[in-house]
A and B are shown apart, each in its own frame.
Chain A
Amino acid sequence: MKIDLVNVSKAYGQGDAQFWALKDATVSATAGDFISIVGPSGSGKSTMLHIFGCLDKPTAGEVRVDDRPITSLSDRQMSRIRRDHIGFVFQQYFLNASMTALQNVLLPMQLAGVKEGRTKAAAALETVGLGSKLRSYPAQLSGGEQQRVAIARALANAPSIVLADEPTGSLDTKTGQNVLDMLMALNGEKNLGVVIVTHDETVAEKAKTMIHVLDGRIS
């Protein structure tokens, strides 16, 4: 799967309160890519990631998924793209606190109607080294472990691309490095496309492609 952002701009607010979070961004991501989007807070990097992930639509420009513009797609079609082709990893992990690690990973599989979801979810957790923590709740896991559950959840439906928004932002250096190594390994071994948003240059430098964003523009 390939996602193209062509001259994409995104504005928030209206009238005098309107501001452009993203201006004329043109960038592509596909399986096997490892892209880092780097820039200071409020530069528009998360906005770019959300548009990449079909979570948001641009105010101007075009987003194409496999050369198909998403502007005309319905909520159902956009949801299906997210469900089947894109995995999300967030800075605050965003795990469901009332579900076990296994259930959190099972959730997107359930949405996709995957058969033998439990076995596959357990395998995904095994991949991220949490095979012994299937029944643990998020509160019983460390920050690094929670982020690994979030990665396993992102991988649940075997996506082509994983979009990670500051995945190491809430972790200490060592744990952050482990998470980053994991994403790099998935990129190298499974040809997974990875797009990371970060304000940390050292993290950004690990990527094959670095995109600098400042005041909504790719510099």
Chain B
Amino acid sequence: MSWIILANAKKRKARVAMTVGGIAIGVATLFALLSLSAGIENALDREISGMGAHILLLPEGCPYELTLSLMQGSDAFEHIPAELLPDIRAVANVDLAVPVVVGKAKVNGQLNSLYGTTQEILQVRQWEVDVLEGAVIGSDVAEKLGLAVGDSVTISLYNSVELEITHVLEPTYGRDDTFVFVALDVAQQVLGLTDRLSAVLIRTEIVTESTRTQYTLGRMSDVQAVPPSDIFERLMELFASIRQTLILITGIAIVAGVMTTMNTMTMAVFERKKEIGILRALGSTKLNVFRLFVTESLLLSLIGGFVGLIAGYVATLFLPKTSGFGLEATPQFSPIYVVICLVVAVIVGVASSLYPAMSAARTQPIKTLREL
């Protein structure tokens, strides 16, 4: 049967190309959406768990917005008074309290995220750095600004400092790659945030008692204590609702694709009445004709599906890396997405061909031959 379909397809190249193209666009969108969603989910998980904190102490305000600002390295304009730090450290079960201040500053004239913190950061991050001194820069910053260990950088915003680069971090494939890490007081001075903190990363001694510690910390004035896992879950819920909307829109586009393909196939049945009439005269049963049209549609849909997968894959490679909550998200490809996309293509193929195929099967050979 395949050569019959191929012979017919050769005669209608433009129509075949349009059908395949329509399905390919739908599948490419779906594949890109699934891959990018997984990439963003993965990036969120990586960034939040990468903080290395059991509890995140944030200024008052929307915790999700503040967390995102912290991850993106931009000043949220809400701060924790630095004077609270001794009280925070005095709370029972607090093993480590790492103060952090973030904001955008000019690094050798280029705007970059500045991350001010204390030596304690080395206990929560998996870096191969013994002492935080001078400027420790992420691998992306080093590449972007052409910097190496021993070089000096000028960091400025409200105030200016000149520091020597003491370490270039190994790539983490997270936001750390894009930060310039300096001592807390240096960052506060540059960003004009003296005595203010963006967040405090808390490590507890007994993790199972973190909830109680979180409650105690949360009762302090001007701060809120949230576990990163809660933030992650809420952000994922938010992202899931965005993703659902996008999938719904893609679904509508795919349904529109089904209707268009159905219309194309129905038109094809009218155009091919002569061919169908002859097939019936030569001994094709109604079922043969039905199967011919469904198989043809299925084949075109599968080709469209494969083309769409390739197009979707290529598209994700060219899309901006920073997307979804401003995080650097690398698309995640999975065989299950390939299967989902191909199943969708098959469903599109079958759904769009049923009516035209039935219409073709009902063609009366004698009526067709009489009209020719």
Contacts and interface: CB of A to CB of B under 8 A. Distances in A.
User: Do A and B make up one complex?
Assistant: yes
Interface of A: 46, 50, 53, 55-56, 75-76, 79-80, 82-84, 88, 90, 92, 94, 96-99, 103, 107-108, 110-112, 153, 157
A55 B366 contact: yes
Interface string B278-292: 111111111110000
B1 A110 contact: yes
B372 interface: yes
A82 B369 CA distance: 15
A98 B10 contact: yes
A94 B366 contact: no
A110 to B, nearest CB: 7
Given A82-B283, A108-B283, A99 B369 contact: no
Given A56-B366, A79-B283, A111 B288 contact: yes
Nearest to B1: A110
Given A55-B366, A94-B274, A82 B281 contact: yes
A82 B282 contact: yes
Contact of B4 (A46, A55, A110): A110
Contacts of A94: 274, 277-278, 281, 369, 372
A97 B280 CA distance: 17
Interface in B1-30: 1, 3-4, 7-8, 10-11
25 contacts: A46-B370, A50-B366, A50-B369, A53-B281, A55-B280, A55-B369, A56-B366, A76-B287, A79-B280, A79-B283, A79-B285, A80-B285, A82-B281, A83-B282, A83-B283, A92-B372, A94-B369, A97-B11, A98-B7, A98-B8, A107-B4, A110-B4, A111-B279, A111-B288, A112-B283
B365 interface: yes
Contacts of A153: 282
Interface of B: 1, 3-4, 7-8, 10-11, 274-275, 277-288, 365-366, 369-370, 372
B123 to A, nearest CB: 73
B7 A96 contact: yes
A98 B278 CA distance: 14
Contacts of A96: 7-8, 275, 278
B341 to A, nearest CB: 30
Contacts of A88: 281-282
Given A55-B280, A96-B275, A111-B288, 13 more contacts: A46-B370, A55-B365, A55-B369, A76-B286, A76-B287, A79-B286, A79-B288, A83-B283, A84-B283, A92-B372, A98-B7, A111-B283, A111-B284
Contacts of B1: 110
A111 B287 CA distance: 11
Contacts of A112: 283
Contacts of B279: 107, 111
B283 A80 contact: yes
Nearest to B367: A56
A79 B369 CA distance: 16
Contacts of A56: 366
Contacts of B274: 94
A36 B275 CA distance: 27
Contact of B7 (A92, A99, A111): A99
B10 to A, nearest CB: 6
Contact of A90 (B3, B8, B280, B369): B369
Contacts of B288: 79, 111
A39 B257 CA distance: 52
